[in-house]
Structures are given as C-alpha cells and as structure tokens.
Amino acid sequence: MAVTCVVGANWGDEGKGKMVDYLAEKSDVVIRFQGGSNAGHTVINQYGKFALHLLPSGVFYPDVVNILGPGVALDMGELIRELDDLKKRGVPEPKVMVSERTQVMLPWHKLFDTYEEERLGARQFGSTRSGIAPFYSDKYAKVGVQAGELFDKEALRDRLGPIVEAKNVLLEHLYHKPTMNLDEVVDRLYEDGMKIRHLIADTSSFLHDAVKKGKNILLEGQLGALRDPDHGIYPFSTSSSTLAGFATVGAGLPPWAITEVIAVVKAYSSAVGAGPFVTELQGEAAHELRERGGDAGEYGAKTGRPRRVGWFDAVATRYGCRMQGATTIALTLLDVLGYLDKIPVCTAYEIDGKQTTEFPLTGTLDRAKPVLEELPGWKQAISHIRTFDQLPKQAKDYVAFVEEQTGVRVGWISVGPRREQTIMRNR
C-alpha cells in the first residue's frame, strides 16, 4: 500500500495537477482534501488541456475513484460544470464521490468575498472571489451546511433561517447590497443538492476499507505551503491548510497512513495575488520569464491574471519543504529555464543589513532583499529528455543544487506540461 501526498512547496501553481495526473495511473483513489474552486490544476493529456478547479486530477482514469473530502469547499455549480465539461470533451465518465460531511458553498459566500474586496479597495488581498474565505469562516463559526444535510428541506430551512437573517444585516448595512430571501436560498441549495445526490457517500468508511485492502491512495493538495493559514504568509494566505499534515484530516484517513510526501517544487518562483514575494522580477526580465513559463505563459488557471514571477527562492522552498514534511521533491518546469546563460537563484535574505537563511514573518519579509547567486545555464531544450542521465550537466547540477538547499531528494523532474514529459529518477 502507498498513501502519497502531493503538495506544493511554494505559493501554488507548481504543477501539482500535472504530477497528480501522472502519478494517478498507478493509483486506486485520488482525494482532494482542502480548498475549493479558487485555484486551477492544469492537466494536459490525450483528451486535451483542462483546468480542473474542484475535481481531483485522477478523473482522466476511469478506474480511479476520485473523492472530494470533508476538508474541501464544495461549490456544487462548479462541480456540475466540470463534470459536464469532461463529458462534452470525450473523457470517459469518472468515478467521483463527495463526502456527506463536505460542506457546500452557500449563496452569500461568493457575494461576501466580492463585496469585502470592494470595501477594502486598495488594501484588498487579491482574492479570486470564489467565496473561500467566507466559506471557511462560516464553517468554523458553525454556520455551514454539510452536503448530507441538503435533502431534508424543512430541517434545512430551520437551520438557515437565523443564518440568512444575520447575513442580510451585513448585506444591507455593511455592503449596501440587496438582501436574500430564505425560501429562494433553500430551494436553490436543495435543487443543486439533488443534482449531485448520487455522488454523496460515506467516504471515510470507503477509505478505511481502501487502507485495509492496501490500495494506492493519492492525496492532492491545492496551493502551496506558503499559503497555509498557520505557516504561510498570513494574511496573504488561503483559508484552509495546504499542508500534508492536514491531508489525513481533510480526507478522513488515519494520520499514520501517509507513506510519502511529495513536495512539488517549481524551478523558479511564481505567485498570484497580493503579499510579499522576495525574488519577484519586474520589467523585461519578468516579462520574458512569464511568457516562457507554464505551458502557455504564467497566467492564472482560474482567473487568467498574469502571475508574478521571480527566481528560485531557496529560503522559501527549504521552509516550504520543511513545513510539508517532504520526503521527496518533484521538481517541475525545469525546461523553462533553458533560455538563460546564467540562472540567478536566491540562497539567503538580507534583512536590515543582516543575512539569514530562515524564512521570517510576513511583516519582516517586506523588508527582505534576495541574496542572489548564479548557476550556469544549459541553453538548450530538454522537454524531449526522459532519463536523468541524458540531461545536460548544468541541468543535473541545478537539480543537485535544489537537493543541497532543501535537504530533500529530487525523485521526479518535470520537463514539460504533458504527462509523458516526466523523468523518474532511480533510487
């Protein structure tokens, strides 16, 4: 049995979707354990190019069971849309299960996300406005709704009555926007619930059995370590834990079950939204890296917003791998750096005249300047290469640099966005 967790070591967009799609071939179950439809995992395979926001990246294998665990923010409309899109594009119907304990996005979550960013104006967080922060606030304030609760309309109305009343006060008096009607809210949730009723199940019993039978299970994280609410760049973080340590909670597995934590590390840096970003590039250098990055430039899979880009940050990545408890690294987007004569990398921060290799608190990060070194570039395309030995020496040295800086072995190297553009290193 293997229970493998695939998580981001950076700010997200490290190519986790590609790695999960690649690893899912040998898996029985793929589980999303946190986050919602606020980010996108790009997967490119024989069916085309997909930006999955909510569905686990195992949906392209008809035998894999794909689970949305209780830790996920379930946008029912988005789930229905993504399933329809797969069908329209010729993907065989995937096996999907939604935990009866997964909470659903309520109609005001997206509204509040948008209105709050509007209210904050210049001080906004750069939210994708998918309702994630209001969703998790409500969940932990115990005014959320679990998927399994959607089918008793009377009980739903009883529960939602005082909640809608309180939300309407905010809509009217804080945001000066139209209020909601309780009956309409209940009808809409019930109708959406009925559309996905066949997917809702007791997934923790299913997983308990899967572990007992020694099945191969993949846990798919969203965003990255530096967006974790406790250990990331708070408050420019997301609202659910992005760490492997949370994966068993958000999925419903025992904590001892995880056998491998693969931290996906990007060969350079990128980030979406606001917040400190020490190695960020500006001007022409940023433009060039952004246009050459990803599979068609570094633009958000969810929003299409240009991503902020910068050089590899060993301070942030070492910290990210440590907080993830990484046992192996999958180093992605290495091919992108093939245009550079010399590749700048950040090995320390200078803060108030002193150098440090420890990742500090958000407020201090604002004052950090990157200490850069240069590694020799390989100046050639490597996307066709399938074995480590065939990589140019400078690319192998770059891999060795990442290992030395993080103290974690690089087990996979991704040299292109497609499933097959992956090098697995022998142990």
45 touching ligand GDP, by CB under 6 A = no
| Interface pick for ligand GDP out of 35, 294, 310, 320 (rule CB under 6 A) | 294
Name residues whose C-beta falls within 8 Å of residue 394's C-beta, 6 or more positions apart in sequence. 375, 376, 377, 378
Q: Which is nearer to ligand GDP, 280 or 295 (CB)?
A: 295
Contact 41, 16 (CB under 8 A): yes
| Interface pick for ligand GDP out of 3, 11, 15, 135 (rule CB under 6 A) | 15
Distance between CA 338 and CA 336 in Å, rounded? 6
Residues making up the chain, counted from first to last: 427
295 touching ligand GDP, by CB under 6 A = yes
391 touching ligand GDP, by CB under 6 A = no
Stretch that binds ligand GDP, among 144-152, 188-196, 253-261, 411-419 (CB under 6 A): 411-419
Least distance to ligand GDP, CB of residue 370, Å = 23
Distance between CA 356 and CA 350 in Å, rounded? 6
41 touching ligand GDP, by CB under 6 A = yes
Distance between CA 227 and CA 240 in Å, rounded? 9
336 touching ligand GDP, by CB under 6 A = yes
Dihedral, CA atoms, 354, 358, 359, 360, nearest 10 degrees?
Answer: -50
Least distance to ligand GDP, CB of residue 62, Å = 21
Task: With CB under 6 A as the rule, give the number of residues binding ligand GDP.
Answer: 24
| Interface pick for ligand GDP out of 34, 45, 241, 332 (rule CB under 6 A) | 332
State the amino acid at position 218 in one-letter form. L
Contact 70, 63 (CB under 8 A): no
Stretch that binds ligand GDP, among 94-102, 164-172, 389-397, 412-420 (CB under 6 A): 412-420
Q: Which is nearer to ligand GDP, 8 or 252 (CB)?
A: 8
Q: Which is nearer to ligand GDP, 231 or 292 (CB)?
A: 292
Query: Rule CB under 6 A: which of 87-116 touch ligand GDP?
Result: none
What are the catalytic residues? Answer: 13, 41
Q: Which is nearer to ligand GDP, 8 or 134 (CB)?
A: 8
Dihedral, CA atoms, 13, 251, 318, 379, nearest 10 degrees?
Answer: -30
| Interface pick for ligand GDP out of 6, 11, 13, 23 (rule CB under 6 A) | 13
| Interface pick for ligand GDP out of 73, 301, 316, 323 (rule CB under 6 A) | 301
Q: Which is nearer to ligand GDP, 56 or 245 (CB)?
A: 56
Decide: helix, strand or coil at residue 385.
Answer: coil
| Interface pick for ligand GDP out of 4, 34, 38, 42 (rule CB under 6 A) | 42
320 touching ligand GDP, by CB under 6 A = no
Place of tokens 């010399």: 342
| Interface pick for ligand GDP out of 12, 144, 252, 370 (rule CB under 6 A) | 12
From 265, 253, 293, 246, select the one nearest 16 (Cα to Cα).
265
- Residue 381 bridge partners (DSSP): none
**DSSP characters over 287-328:** HHHHHHSTTTSSB-TTT-PBPEEE-EEHHHHHHHHHHHT-SE
Task: Give ∠ CA 237-240-244 in degrees, rounded to 5.
Answer: 100
| Interface pick for ligand GDP out of 18, 109, 167, 308 (rule CB under 6 A) | 18
Pairing assessment for the beta strands 410-414 and 369-376 based on DSSP bridges: unpaired
Distance between CA 111 and CA 130 in Å, rounded? 9
Q: Which is nearer to ligand GDP, 108 or 311 (CB)?
A: 311
Stretch that binds ligand GDP, among 37-45, 141-149, 255-263, 321-329 (CB under 6 A): 37-45
Contact 72, 117 (CB under 8 A): no
In a 13 Å sphere around the CA of 332, the CA atoms on its Cβ side amount to 32
Query: Which residues form the interface with ligand GDP (CB under 6 A)?
Result: 8, 12-18, 39-42, 44, 294-295, 301, 332-333, 335-336, 414-417
